């Protein structure tokens, strides 16, 4: 994944981790907002839709990756998860310059809202689509 471990120990940004702490990393404060993916792969893997942040690959600073494992969820997409606690952390599309990071892995406030729904047509029938910033614009 071409992530670098930071030897200085402190970097500005959001801190994220899996539930057990075997994987932890730092990502930049989000400027692009949260994407909600309703595809069948996310539904199966996460038990619901997955809320993700698009992060430039080189901007992710790994602190611990002892238990990070990868699963090929489709031909061109692999998912990074903790092999100890099962937290699903990354959706990594082959050759993409952004890695999708699960918003739920961020400790504390993410500072961003859902801005886009993806694969709405395959969403589960037990919930309504989350409102996006676009939905909240006043209609004149
Ligand atoms: Zn873990
Ligand atoms: Zn998905």
What CATH code is carried by the domain that includes residue 42?
2.170.150.70
Is 127 contained in some domain? Answer: no
Q: What ligand has the least distance to the C-alpha of 120?
A: 2
**Res 2: pLDDT:** 43
pTM listed for this prediction = 0.86
The CA distance from 2 to 16, in Å, is: 18
Whole-number Cα distances in Å, 113 to 7, 35, 77:
31, 9, 25
Is 116 contained in some domain? Answer: yes
Q: Give the number of domains in the chain.
A: 1
Instruction: Determine the distance separating the centroid of ligand 2 and the alpha carbon of 10, expressed in angstroms.
Output: 32
Tens-digit pLDDT profile for residues 52-94: 999 999 999 999 999 999 999 999 999 999 999 999 999 999 9
Q: What ligand has the least distance to the C-alpha of 22?
A: 1
Is 134 contained in some domain? Answer: no
Domain that holds residue 102: 4-122
DSSP state of 139: P
């Amino acid at each position: 994944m071409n992530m670098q471990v930071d030897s200085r120990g402190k970097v500005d940004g959001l801190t994220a981790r899996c539930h057990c702490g075997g994987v932890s990393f730092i990502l930049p404060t989000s400027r692009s907002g949260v994407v909600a993916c309703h595809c069948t792969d996310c539904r199966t893997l996460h038990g619901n839709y997955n809320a993700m942040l698009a992060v430039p690959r080189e901007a992710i600073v790994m602190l611990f990756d002892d238990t990070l494992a990868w699963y090929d969820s489709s031909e061109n997409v692999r998912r990074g998860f903790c092999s100890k606690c099962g937290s699903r952390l990354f959706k990594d599309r082959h050759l993409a310059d952004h890695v999708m990071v699960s918003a739920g892995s961020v400790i504390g406030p993410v500072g961003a809202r859902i801005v886009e729904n993806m694969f709405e047509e395959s969403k589960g029938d037990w919930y309504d689509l989350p409102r996006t910033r676009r939905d909240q614009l006043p209609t004149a």
